[in-house]
Amino acid sequence: MNAELIIFYLFSIFLIISSMRVVISNNPVKSAIYLVSSFFCSAVLWLLLGAEFLSVILILVYVGAVMVLFLFVVMMLDINLSEATGGFVKYLNEGIFVFIIMSALLILFFQNQFADTDKNIITEINIISDSNTKNLGYILYTEYILAFEIAAVILLLGIISAITLTHKKKSDNKFQDPDIQVNVKKEDRIFIVKDEDLK
């Protein structure tokens, strides 16, 4: 057994354990930390498969940006752990039922998808360099440019929708109205008081 196989089995076991802890843990902060560990183990497995670009992107984007932001949001939320644990126990039977169905569907899909492996092997690909990053960039921006741009627009719409749904203007907040500031008159700003009025 070579070192590569030992590393594969080791990080695969860590990935399975950390993924289970993400679901089982009743503390959302701990779940987020276990999810970061799952991403890191997955990145190591991608690196062993020779996909260094996906491995680095998984660490930089998901671990370095998305999960850090998600962790800050979870830490700022006031979550009642007793209610969360009670809901987990309450819907345990339904969760096991959905898990069994989803597992059966995934097994059926992969058995049908890879039944004839000769039809699923990529026999021809345009290779412009020895680097996977350059090859992936070339394919994305030539053959799959339309799908890439559509995905970018969908992500942009998701960001705009999230901001629109979460942005609520409160009545007690103080804010400036540029229209009122521009159209203001001198009489509205200055009130002249005479000495006679003060007596």
The predicted-structure confidence for 125-167, as pLDDT tens digits, reads as follows 666 767 777 888 888 888 888 888 998 898 888 888 877 776 6
**pLDDT at residue 81, as a whole number:** 55
Which of the four pLDDT bands, split at 50, 70 and 90, describes residue 14? very high
With bands split at pLDDT 50, 70 and 90, how would you rate the model's confidence at 28?
A: confident
How is residue 106 written in tokens? Answer: 């995934």
Residue 128: name the closest of 116, 139, 117 by CA: 139
pLDDT category at 199 given cuts 50, 70, 90 is low
| pLDDT value of position 195 | 67
Who has greater pLDDT, 78 or 27?
27
| Coil vs helix vs strand at 124 | coil
Q: Are 43 and 20 in contact (CB under 8 A)?
A: no
- Kindly write down the DSSP assignment for every residue of 149-190, as one continuous string: HHHHHHHHHHHHHHHHHH----TTS----HHHHHS--HHHH-
* Distance between first and last Cα of the chain: 102
Lowest average pLDDT, out of 12-16, 17-21, 85-89, 109-113, goes to: 85-89
What is the Cα–Cα distance from 97 to 103, expressed in whole angstroms? Answer: 10
Confidence of residue 18 (pLDDT cuts 50, 70, 90): very high
What's the number of CA atoms in the CB half-sphere (13 Å) around residue 14?
Answer: 18
